[in-house]
Every structure is written in C-alpha cells, then in structure tokens.
A and B are shown apart, each in its own frame.
Chain A
Amino acid sequence: MFAKEMLKQSLPLLVVCGLGGILAGNTFGAMASIIRDIPGLIVVIPAVIAMRGNISTALGSRLGSAYHLGIINAENLWNKELKQNILGSLTLSLIMSTIIGFLAYVSSLILNIYPNPFQLIVIVLLAGVISGIVLMLLTIMIIYFVFKRGYDPDNITGPALATFGDVITMLCIFGSAILIGGIT
C-alpha cells in the first residue's frame, strides 16, 4: 500500500518529465551537424544542463522557504530579498558558465581535440545566462501563481523546472551555437 501510493503520486509526473526529456533529446538530435562543426560543443552540454538545473532548483527551493518564512508573498513579491536571490543566481550562472567553457577546452586539449576556446566560452556564457534569465522568470511566474492559489511552492517548482528546464536550456545552447558558430 506504501508502494501503491508512491506509484500513484509519482509515476504520472515522471512520465510527464520524461516527455520534456524527449523534447530536449530531439533538440539534441537536431544539433547533429553543428556538433560536427564545433569541436567541444558536445562536451559542454551535460555540464550546462546540470548547472542550469542545480542553480534553478536551488533558487526555487530558496523562494519556497522564503514563502514559508513569510518573507515574500503574492502582494510583496518584488522586494529586496527576491532581488538578492536573482542577483545571486545570475552571478553564479556567469561564473559557472566560464568555468564550464574553460574546463571543456582544457580537457579536450588533453584528449588531442582542439576547440576554439573563445568560441566555446562565449557559447556557454550566452546559453547559460539566457537560459538562466528565462528559467528565473518562469520560476517567479510559477511562484506568483502558486502564492495566489495558496499552494505550497515546494511541490510545484521542482517538477515544473525538471520538465521545462532541460528543453529550454538545450534550445538556448542550440541557438547560441548557431549564432556564435555563424559569426566566428
């Protein structure tokens, strides 16, 4: 009965998140030719997606806690606490994106693959920051509606970010790669 309840509550959500994964995967599949054109690009993909997931879910759960602590609510959403959280997440995205691009370049060199370091770092930075802003706006919107309805944000932001986060991030990597790959 324990197992039944867990299955009933989690399984539909897992399948829905999996559908988000299929969309992300299709984007990955569509990137085949640009992956050939830009050495090192495939290396950064798991790292950027994981970074995006880690930073966004941490933001979501901090805002959930802030709601439970009574620091933010539907009437008082856009305040100093929220701005500090936004600034923190964006700074993290900038720093971690640079580290990802750099590490992907150096580790490729060790394996005798020679990416263009400038191109790689700019692609990661652009994808990291744009997906960060999009997912942050999405999180704040979700939190706002959740507040209005009086639901617990902790139950909603995690699965929503898991479903949309990977697709949005993958699309941002694809877009940045096309843009920067076209310029350089």
Chain B
Amino acid sequence: MIYSWKKIVKNSIPILTIAVFIEIFAGQILQGNQEKLLLFPIFLISIPVINGVGGNIGSILGARLASGLHVGYIELTIKDKNIQKNFLTSLLMGLITYAILGILIYYIAYFGNIQMEIDLLVFVSIVLGTGVLLILMISIISVLTAFLAFKKGLDPDDMVAPVVTTFGDTLGIVLLFLLIGVVGIW
C-alpha cells in the first residue's frame, strides 16, 4: 500500500492551515464591508467569479511554467521569451473572460430583479479593472512560486495551485473594494 490516511493528513495540514489563515483575513474584509455588499448584491455575485477565474488563470500559467521548467524549454530568468509570451496570453485571456462574464452577471442580475443602481458600463469597468490587476499580480506570484519551488528542488506542480488560489482570493476581494472606492459608487 503506498497511501496512508495519516500521511495524507500530516503532509497537508501545514499548507492548508496557512491557506486558512489568509482566507479568514479575506473573510474579515468581507465582514467589514458587509452592509455595503448587502446593499449591492451584484458584487456579492461577482466575488466567486472574479476569484475563481483569477485562480484558474494563475494555475494554468503555473502548470505551463512547471512543465516548461521540467522539460527544460523554459529558462530560470524573467527575460525568457516563453515566460513573457505566457504572461501576456494570461492577461489577454483574463480580459476576454472577465468582459464576457461581467456582461453576463449584469444581465442575470438585471433580469433576476436584483436591486442595483449601477450602469452596465460602470459595472463591467469595475470587474475588468479588478480582473486585470488581479491577473497581473497573480501571474507574478505564479511565476515567482514556480521559480522558487523549482530552485529548491520541490515540484512546482504541488505548490503553484494552492499558493495562487489562496493569495488570489484575498487580492481579488481587496482589489474589488479598491476599485469600487475609486469609482465611488458607495
């Protein structure tokens, strides 16, 4: 037998606990802004989408970098052409995905009679702005994690996804509130 439940639990607890600490921090930011969020439920709907897409794009980028590093067609330097291309493609994918989903969320909320006093253009700009900033930050975190893991002799495949989704959740929520504040709708 190669798997033992005790070993699975022992190996997973440290990284899961770190993730939980950071996620609770994200949760407290939500609680601090709870009343505003409940006034604009459309943002409540957007949060899982913003965070989910950000985490997925970061994980795709990380997995591609990990494979490249393993196989050897990506070099351990920021100047590597493949890394730059992957980085730009992630940003482009983020732009398209967030634009489609932002419009979709708006009309679902609109036809679902969800209370909102916000323009389509303003809403989509907030989602797009949050999304692009999030992808930028997540991509940097993803590249750094893959590099550091690879340098330390750890498998980047094990490290990138948890790190990226955890930081992505917190950053997504912080950036969303930041952009809502900048636009000044509440």
Chain A residues packing against B (C-beta within 8 Å): 2-3, 6-7, 10-11, 13-15, 17-22, 24-26, 28-29, 32, 35-36, 40, 42-47, 49-51, 53-55, 57-58, 62, 66, 69, 71, 80-81, 84-85, 87-89, 91-92, 95-96, 99-100, 103-104, 107-108, 111, 113, 158, 162, 166, 170
CB-based nearest A residue for B97: A14
Residues of A within 8 A of B51 (CB): 21, 46
Cross-chain contact of B162 among A29, A54, A84 (Cβ < 8 A): A54
A113–B27 CA distance with the chains assembled, in angstroms:
13
Given contacts A46-B169, A62-B3, could you give 11 more A-B pairs where the C-beta distance is less than 8 Å?
A3-B92, A10-B60, A19-B104, A21-B49, A22-B104, A42-B27, A44-B27, A92-B12, A96-B20, A99-B20, A162-B56
Q: Are B5 and A88 in contact (CB under 8 A)?
A: yes
Given A35-B34, A71-B2: A91 touches B93 (CB 8 Å cut-off): no
Interchain CB contact under 8 A, B31 and A17? no
- Cross-chain pair count, CB within 8 angstroms: 202
Q: How far is the CA of A11 from the CA of B96 in the complex (A)?
A: 8
Chain B residues lying within 8 Å of A25, measured Cβ to Cβ, are 44-49, 105
Q: Are B5 and A18 in contact (CB under 8 A)?
A: no
- Shortest CB distance B169–A (Å): 5
Contact assessment for A14 and B20 in the assembled complex, using a CB-CB cutoff below 8 Å: no
Assess whether B3 is in contact with A84, with CB atoms less than 8 Å apart: yes
CB neighbours (8 Å) of B2 from chain A are 66, 69, 71, 81
Q: Would A7 and B52 count as touching, CB distance under 8 A?
A: no
Q: Quick one: which of B88, B169, B170 contacts A3, CB cutoff 8 A?
A: B88
Q: Which of A20, A42, A53, A113 contacts B165 (CB 8 A)?
A: A53
- CB distance A43 to B24 under 8 Å? yes
A3 with B89: in contact, given A49-B48, A50-B165, A100-B24 (CB under 8 Å)?
Answer: yes
Residues of A within 8 A of B15 (CB): 54
Interface contact A32-B41, CB-CB below 8 Å: yes
Tell me the bound Cα distance from A26 to B111 in angstroms. 13
Complex Cα–Cα for A45 and B34 (A): 13
Known interface pairs A3-B85, A54-B16, A85-B3. Does A18 touch B100 (Cβ–Cβ under 8 Å)? yes
- Shortest distance from the beta carbon of A137 to any chain B beta carbon, whole Å: 18
For residue B26, CB closer than 8 A to chain A, the reply is: yes
Whether B165 contacts A24 by the Cβ 8 Å rule is no
Which A-B residue pairs are the 3 nearest by beta carbons? A88-B8, A25-B45, A43-B27
The residue that A54 contacts in the complex, of B4, B19, B31, with Cβ under 8 A, is B19
Instruction: Indicate if the CB atoms of A22 and B101 lie closer than 8 Å.
Output: yes
The answer for the CA separation of A91 and B11 in the assembled complex, in Å, is 13
Query: Do residues A166 and B48 form an inter-chain contact, with CB atoms below 8 A?
Result: yes
Q: Does B159 contact A (CB under 8 A)?
A: no
